[in-house]
Structure 1
């Protein structure tokens, strides 16, 4: 039976879109016929209208199609809740009136209730779905995200090349952040944490941000502008993973960020927050209580200074990432799909 994969937007930089592309590739390797459905909505429409339009579009043309949806629609067969629970996410945001918020809450309630089965990408999100919408545990499977494993590379050589391309000292330990949408993903908090470090370092902040100038000014006001490079969105992000030592991701809300797995697979020590479902695959010492948790600073200083410890953790993470590959994710996902195809 053919599977239809649904995602409203088509963008080269989104984590969900990258996952969709990887999922489709792996499904085809497994001889599963599939097709992606994106929105037909005109770009000039307001975002809340486009969200409603996509759900209406999908359900109007559904017929007997089997829908594996990565977006909130009211008629999925299987819904992968990669975007988390919007009603919970709103509690972490500053209050602002945006019609998209009640529309998302309307759609996700019906999505969770109408789906034959739900895939959560973390136990963190499964718990939120159950508590927020009274969905039974049996209706939800937890399948952690998966990423393609990189080909072999020499980290020392890659780091030297990366630092040389930016005219930087290759002996400095490198801290990396990757992600677009800086406010939710904690770049403000990250800069404040970096400003309190006493050990020399260089940080690369990779990602798209509309208010980039505000963050440049903040780094200047915190007197760390010379130690931080904002690169904008990059298509060669693997260069930064390969050449970095520590990945710091103090996000405010993340169902399960792919960047954590990507950083691990490229042999980085990884630190993130308890508000990130990906923290489930890390030891507690690498998990911050909140995005501004300064109790992480002594451990971060130790990582910057202790090259042997850093190297050991990097190796452990690279090994751990082999158990969190996209192939492993797809194998588990196929089990759920086959269980609900008929």
Structure 2
């Protein structure tokens, strides 16, 4: 494909008022695509964190009041696409596909790519989905686990469903704090300086598995009273911060019932996860069904020993040389893995070093962007 001096163009569409890995993704790739010579546009909800994150990433997105309002503004959106000669739309929520399919119906030059960030849970082969997904040139699955489900669920031929692992900048996870700063951070969180720390990061919701983590941690304390260990739960405590408040209360009650309050810290919402990793000895990710597992990869890049769920996509990220896997429904497997890693400093170091190397090999943002650009160009070339 020859563009001459004209940069290839793509619009990132994410009409979500939430804030999680899916919503963060467009702003993470915008600077990378720009560096690769792409001109990137955005479409987001007015006043959303997605819109502000796109601005922070260097573009001024087109905004609309609501998802339903998008249908009433088709003419405006089509006019914007024609004015800027944008022929490629990259959607990130399944609900955005209705708009994208309508735009592609009204302008046959428009091509649509959809990244399935969540992992489909039921078949989507009814008349509406056949129409909507019929306009999708490529469906990107963020793990092999989700790709297998997508092959069964979506009305698309296999060659249009492709696995594309997410990526991160490993250097951004590298340790930066000196010994004094690490001590100060531990003290500010109420974490004893002489304790081994086990942490779990993510929204406090049942699917993230913090209850299993706490049950296993309580078992660890009972079975190994000689260990000086402390648990750190990183994540917002309110609905405004993405957590379920009734679940937070349930976790706090569990801590009290188990008599382990002095060994547990709830940090609340934090923006410095990479720095918090520096005071953790073991990172646990007990999510029941991760479509990818970005927290796993970030912890690996930080050189941490990781225990992840033996479900969803996490087994694709960790191998026996870089971490441990445990059944997300079996607290005893988690407490056994915790005991193994807290009891062996050399093992933790070895796993962390291998994990970091694995990220550089398979899960770098540069690798992800190179593959994504290839998909973009292939789709445009067909047009």
Q: Please tell me the TM-score bracket, short chain as reference.
A: 0.7 to 0.9
In 2, Cα distance between equivalents of 1:138 and 1:223 = 54
Please give the TM-score of this superposition, normalised by the length of structure 1: 0.83
**What is aligned with 1:97?**
none
Describe the superposition over 1:271-311 as per-residue Cα deviations: whole angstroms up to 9, x where unpaired. Answer: 22233313302115722233435224323201001011111
In 2, Cα distance between equivalents of 1:124 and 1:86 = 12
In 2, Cα distance between equivalents of 1:21 and 1:107 = 30
**What is aligned with 1:92?**
none
Q: Secondary structure at the match of 1:180?
A: coil
In 2, Cα distance between equivalents of 1:185 and 1:193 = 14
The 8 Å contact of residues 4 and 67 in structure 1, kept in 2 or not, is answered as yes
Distance 1:17 1:54, change over 3 A: farther
Please give the TM-score of this superposition, normalised by the length of structure 2: 0.75
User: Which structure exhibits the higher relative contact order, with contacts defined as CA atoms closer than 8 Å and separated by 6 or more residues?
Assistant: 1
2:333 is the counterpart of 1:295 = yes
What are the ranges of 5 or more consecutive residues in structure 2 without an aligned counterpart? 1-7, 50-64, 102-111, 237-242
Match of 1:179 among 202, 210, 218: 202
In 1, Cα distance between equivalents of 2:187 and 2:128 = 49
Please give the residue correspondences for 1:312-327 in structure 2 after superposition, counting only pairs within 5 Å.
312-323=350-361, 324-327=363-366
**What is aligned with 1:207?**
235
In 2, Cα distance between equivalents of 1:58 and 1:257 = 36
**Shift of the alpha carbon at 1:6?**
1.0
Matched residue count: 320
Please give the residue correspondences for 1:1-342 in structure 2 after superposition, counting only pairs within 5 Å.
1-9=8-16, 14-40=20-46, 53=68, 56=71, 61-62=77-78, 65-72=87-94, 73-74=97-98, 75=100, 77-87=112-122, 111-133=132-154, 135-151=156-172, 152-153=174-175, 157=179, 159-197=182-220, 198=224, 199-208=227-236, 209-211=243-245, 212-283=248-319, 286-323=324-361, 324-341=363-380, 342=383
Distance 1:154 1:314, change over 3 A: farther
In 1, Cα distance between equivalents of 2:311 and 2:375 = 26
In 2, Cα distance between equivalents of 1:115 and 1:59 = 18
**Shift of the alpha carbon at 1:52?**
5.7
In 2, Cα distance between equivalents of 1:59 and 1:113 = 19
The 8 Å contact of residues 159 and 170 in structure 1, kept in 2 or not, is answered as no
In 2, Cα distance between equivalents of 1:169 and 1:118 = 47
The 8 Å contact of residues 15 and 67 in structure 2, kept in 1 or not, is answered as no
The 8 Å contact of residues 180 and 207 in structure 1, kept in 2 or not, is answered as yes
In 2, Cα distance between equivalents of 1:275 and 1:291 = 10
**Shift of the alpha carbon at 1:266?**
0.9
In 2, Cα distance between equivalents of 1:176 and 1:135 = 40
**Shift of the alpha carbon at 1:181?**
4.0
What are the ranges of 5 or more consecutive residues in structure 1 without an aligned counterpart? 44-49, 89-101
**Shift of the alpha carbon at 1:83?**
1.5
Q: Greater Rg, structure 1 or structure 2?
A: 2
The 8 Å contact of residues 190 and 292 in structure 1, kept in 2 or not, is answered as no
The 8 Å contact of residues 289 and 311 in structure 2, kept in 1 or not, is answered as yes
Farther off after superposition, 139-148 or 72-81: 72-81
In 1, Cα distance between equivalents of 2:137 and 2:281 = 43
The 8 Å contact of residues 207 and 288 in structure 2, kept in 1 or not, is answered as yes
